[in-house]
Chains A and B, each alone.
Chain A
Amino acid sequence: MPEPSRVKSPPNHELPQMQKSKEQLMADKESYCTFRVDELYFGVEVCQVQEVIRYQHTTRVPLAPAVVQGLMNLRGQIVTTLSLRERLGMSPADADSRPINVVIRTSNGPVSLLVDEIGDVVEVDQELFEPAPETLQGEHRELIRGAFKLEGRLLLILNTSKVVSIAAHESCQIRNVG
């Protein structure tokens, strides 16, 4: 199913319930909510994040794409949880691990991304940004917009609208990857 490029949810400067930066947002700086998946360090623009909650029970959806971890009851609203490991083609987490839900706003309502560990909200200089190199190939290329060259590590920025757009018929393909 061709997914139209989604309109980003309107910028909402209500920060999530986590460590806030003391400085005001500046023109050339942007805040990112960071988290770890496997050994990689990812970031999502803070204004896209609705909230971060610890592991919740989910109801699995048989026949759904493998990326879909299940459905979660978020205060009466039913939210789909997606496994970022699965989406990024990484090996599944240990059975006893308790992933964290990063609930992001999308044009189709909130969607939760399961990550291994939540990090700080960091403010980074836009000049440190560099798009993904050509060597990043395959279907994962469109999921990552680029990286901020932080000291000692790279902060990969997710293209959330691409991450959450999964059509049901992709299921077999993704299952094979996993």
Chain B
Amino acid sequence: MDDFDDIIKEFLVESYEGLDQLDRDLVALEDAPEDRECLDSIFRAVHSMKGASGFLALPKLERVAHVGENLLVPLRDGELQLNHDIADGLLGMVDALRDILGNIEADGSEGDNDYEDLTARLATLLDDRPDGCDAVPCSAEAAGGLSEDEVSEVVAELNVPAPSSLEVNDELAAKPQRIHATPRPLKKLNKATKKVPPNSDTTRVAEQAVPEVSDSQSEEPVQKPVSDVGKVAEAPTPVVATAASQSIGNSGQTVSRSLVEATTKKPFGGSERSTSLADSTVRIDVELLDKLMNLVGELVLVRNQILQFSRITEDDSVIAASQRLNLITTELQEGVMKTRMQPISNAWSKLPRVVRDLASSCHKRVEVCMEGADTELDKTILEAIKDPLTHIVRNSVDHGIELPDVRVANGKTPEGTLCLRAFHEGGQVNIEIVDDGAGINVDCVREKAIEKGLISAEHAAGMNDRELTNLILLPGFSTAAAVTNVSGRGVGMDVVRTNIERISGTLDIQSVQGEGTTLRIKIPLTLAIVPALIVTTSGDQYAIPQVSLLELVRLEGDRGRDGIEFMHDARVYRLRGNLLPLVYLDEQLGLRACRKRGDHDEVVNIVVLQADDRQFGLVVDAITDTQEIVVKPLGSHFKGLSTYAGTTIMGDGTVSLILDVLGLAQKGHVLTEQRDRVHAQGSAGSADQSCDLQSMLIVDPGDGSRAAIDLSAVARLEEFGESQIERSGHREVVQYRGQIMPLIQLESGSSCGASQVEQSRRHTVVYSAGERSVGVVVGKVIDIVHDRFVQSNGELPSRCVIQDRVTEIIDLRELVGRTCPEFMAN
């Protein structure tokens, strides 16, 4: 039974691949209905599935494939032109087949659905064609009059879908009894194949592939090479084996229908290319590759040790051998790494189908173009981005690209374009999904985000378009007016982002309203091996992933002493005019007590790192090297430690820790939520102008107007009750922190007198200069805004518009100087 399970498994894998290819081919065929090669490929795929399903006793699968095949025959013979309806029908058949395969995979049965609708629909499509002749090309003449040459062609054809011929042959070698069962008619094939010229593909493959199999069959009175060839004809895949067995079981006919069909396919040609492609690949378990990869890693370590020994020896032959070992190991390492790499087209292949179905259900017209489909990335990463990509593409078609008449009205072509682009850049893979649709309406996004309570109105007011656009990545966000089966449930983009971040990628959205949207995904080439900077601190080596590395700064001598400045306890370095906060690695790791003012290192090595959108300098003892490191996870004993991202084994066999830049930044208090937010807004502003932002306190002076006070001049905001207010001469005063603090009224700029409006609580802005403070009483504190207020002449205007209100800008220092001259004099 195990054998049978294996066959089923193999069949499933092959069939899934076949179905993916079918999807691609059918969509391609719709654009070019005359493409013979494409039609043949479709026909072949459906046919071999049908044959295999008959052999494996899967009647439903066989029937669905059969009606599909019936429809394909007139298409292939040119009696029928592929149109949208037929393509829909055939794609429906592909879905049904996939459905059944899924059921078989899940529980071994074909499921309860009998697909009556589909078969009826396909039958109707078939009846609609002009000529109603029989669909199945089962002609007795062809079967009877088959020459040996034709049979040899059949054999060549049988090799076509054989990507895993090696495996199967080995299996057969291990089970001679199955080979003995090779029935008579196949021997005829054996003889026939003798006629194949020795340099043909079939013969070559046979000799390469199955030298050992022949022994197990040596009892058969057939010459060795012939039996080899014959076995290849039988062996390659279960599918092919099925085709052969079918022919055998059909004792009434010398050559079965399937063989005839295989032969009749010949005139259309074009199968050579796929033959060589299929023969040149072997399917391998990823687990085995991982194991190989680990072994190669070990070999690299041994190589490094040997190289170290060879440096101290003077024996030339040892040196030569170790150098060769070095070369070969490096090549082997590269080779094994390559086996894990796959072109991104594997993840893209199903997207045209997704787009086609979606576009037709939304009555849109979308063309998909792909650039850089051969860009390679690690298999695990490829798997991880498949779903996010599908989701993004669905979003683009559903929300992005407009209906054809809307597009024409906007001066665009009725057909929208969805462009998938992939390329390598800086050790990362960039994937862009570009549509030329309506773009993202930022106002709409803002409204929705506020409505759903994702951000506050004040916060939203301070955000630029790019930040607003990226709001769609928040959980629970959806601008779709109605929930459709396509999208609108508001979980999508959040999940997309989470999935991408899980493989340490980033997602960025840029959108120009009316012109389209670009989603850019940046992901590492591979998770297993990353380029890293090796640094030393307190005698230990640590690795820092280069993704977050910006630059290295080394300060020596006087600069080491004077370059580091203190902002109270915090140390900073002036990097091109900006203050770079410094974090000392040895202090963060608890290996050394905090340095005090006056402690100076002779040499300071600063690694400038990027954590989120903050930059900080990590001070280390020495910078050793850059190296490609193999990332290994940290054990369960270290789960609570955010400072490490993993471990790695260095060239000399010692273990080193990989630093987690984000965790380190958090531990060093470089990243706190408050700071982060302010900075995010700061960076947005400085992006287009290098002018600093100012924070303004917006208050109501008490008369309903608005005034803004530079927040940097404000020491504190206080509230004083009526009972706290005392009088001193003509002035109101309060006792504040052991001092007598005079109060002045902002409204008139005058001192608070008895005539002032009585308030139960007085909102007071405290202004401090030196030891003394003055309280400025305002009606109400409204908000704090961050914006650019300084005019081109470097001065603050006296009035400006903030939050759509005319606002008077108040210079607190000037106000206090004017109203409390005695305060300033002191």
A166 touches B637 (CB 8 A): yes
Q: Which residues of A contact B643 (CB under 8 A)?
A: 62-63
> What is the CA–CA distance of A15 and B647 in the complex, to the nearest angstrom?
30
A57 touches B637 (CB 8 A): no
Q: Specify the chain B residue showing the minimal Cβ separation from A106.
A: B636
Q: Contacts A76-B297, A78-B632 hold; do A64 and B638 have CB atoms under 8 A apart?
A: yes
Question: Which of B294, B636, B654, B657 gathers the greatest number of chain A CB atoms within 10 Å?
Answer: B636
Q: Which residues of A contact B591 (CB under 8 A)?
A: 62
A167 in complex: contacting residue of B297, B640, B654, B655, CB < 8 Å: B640
Q: Contacts A73-B653, A76-B298, A78-B647 hold; do A65 and B637 have CB atoms under 8 A apart?
A: yes
A71 touches B655 (CB 8 A): yes
A59 in complex: contacting residue of B297, B301, B655, CB < 8 Å: B655
Q: Contacts A71-B647, A76-B297, A76-B649 hold; do A61 and B654 have CB atoms under 8 A apart?
A: no
B43 interfacial contact with A, CB 8 Å: no
> What is the CA–CA distance of A65 and B647 in the complex, to the nearest angstrom?
17
**What string of 1s and 0s marks CB contacts (under 8 Å) between A96-127 and chain B?**
00000000000011010000000000000000
Q: Which residues of A contact B637 (CB under 8 A)?
A: 64-65, 68, 80, 82, 164, 166, 168
B589 touches A59 (CB 8 A): no
Q: Specify the chain A residue showing the minimal Cβ separation from B656.
A: A59
Q: Which residues of A contact B654 (CB under 8 A)?
A: 57, 59, 73
Q: Specify the chain A residue showing the minimal Cβ separation from B647.
A: A78
Q: Contacts A73-B655, A76-B297, A80-B635 hold; do A1 and B640 have CB atoms under 8 A apart?
A: yes
A174 to chain B, nearest CB (A): 12
B590 interfacial contact with A, CB 8 Å: yes
Q: Which residues of B contact A168 (CB under 8 A)?
A: 637-641
Interface residues on A, range: 20 to 34
A132 interfacial contact with B, CB 8 Å: no
CB contact list, A30-81 vs B, under 8 A? 57-65, 68, 70-73, 75-76, 78-80
B590 touches A63 (CB 8 A): yes
A140 interfacial contact with B, CB 8 Å: no
Q: Which residues of A contact B540 (CB under 8 A)?
A: 59-60, 62
A-B CB contacts (within 8 Å), total count:
69
Q: Tell me how many residues of B have a C-beta within 8 Å of chain A.
A: 25
**What string of 1s and 0s marks CB contacts (under 8 Å) between B580-591 and chain A?**
000000000111
B466 to chain A, nearest CB (A): 37
Q: Contacts A1-B639, A73-B655, A168-B638 hold; do A61 and B644 have CB atoms under 8 A apart?
A: yes
B294 touches A76 (CB 8 A): yes
A169 interfacial contact with B, CB 8 Å: yes
B658 to chain A, nearest CB (A): 11
> What is the CA–CA distance of A168 and B638 in the complex, to the nearest angstrom?
6
Q: Which residues of A contact B656 (CB under 8 A)?
A: 59
A75 touches B644 (CB 8 A): no
Q: Contacts A73-B655, A76-B298, A168-B640 hold; do A62 and B589 have CB atoms under 8 A apart?
A: yes
Q: Specify the chain A residue showing the minimal Cβ separation from B640.
A: A168
Q: Specify the chain B residue showing the minimal Cβ separation from A58.
A: B655
> What is the CA–CA distance of A1 and B639 in the complex, to the nearest angstrom?
10
A67 to chain B, nearest CB (A): 8
> What is the CA–CA distance of A166 and B639 in the complex, to the nearest angstrom?
10
B655 touches A72 (CB 8 A): yes
> What is the CA–CA distance of A82 and B540 in the complex, to the nearest angstrom?
19
> What is the CA–CA distance of A96 and B377 in the complex, to the nearest angstrom?
49
B653 touches A61 (CB 8 A): no
Sample of 6 A–B contacts (CB below 8 Å) = A62-B591, A63-B590, A64-B637, A64-B638, A65-B637, A73-B654
Leading 7 A-B pairs by shortest Cβ distance: A168-B640, A62-B589, A71-B655, A59-B655, A80-B635, A76-B298, A108-B636
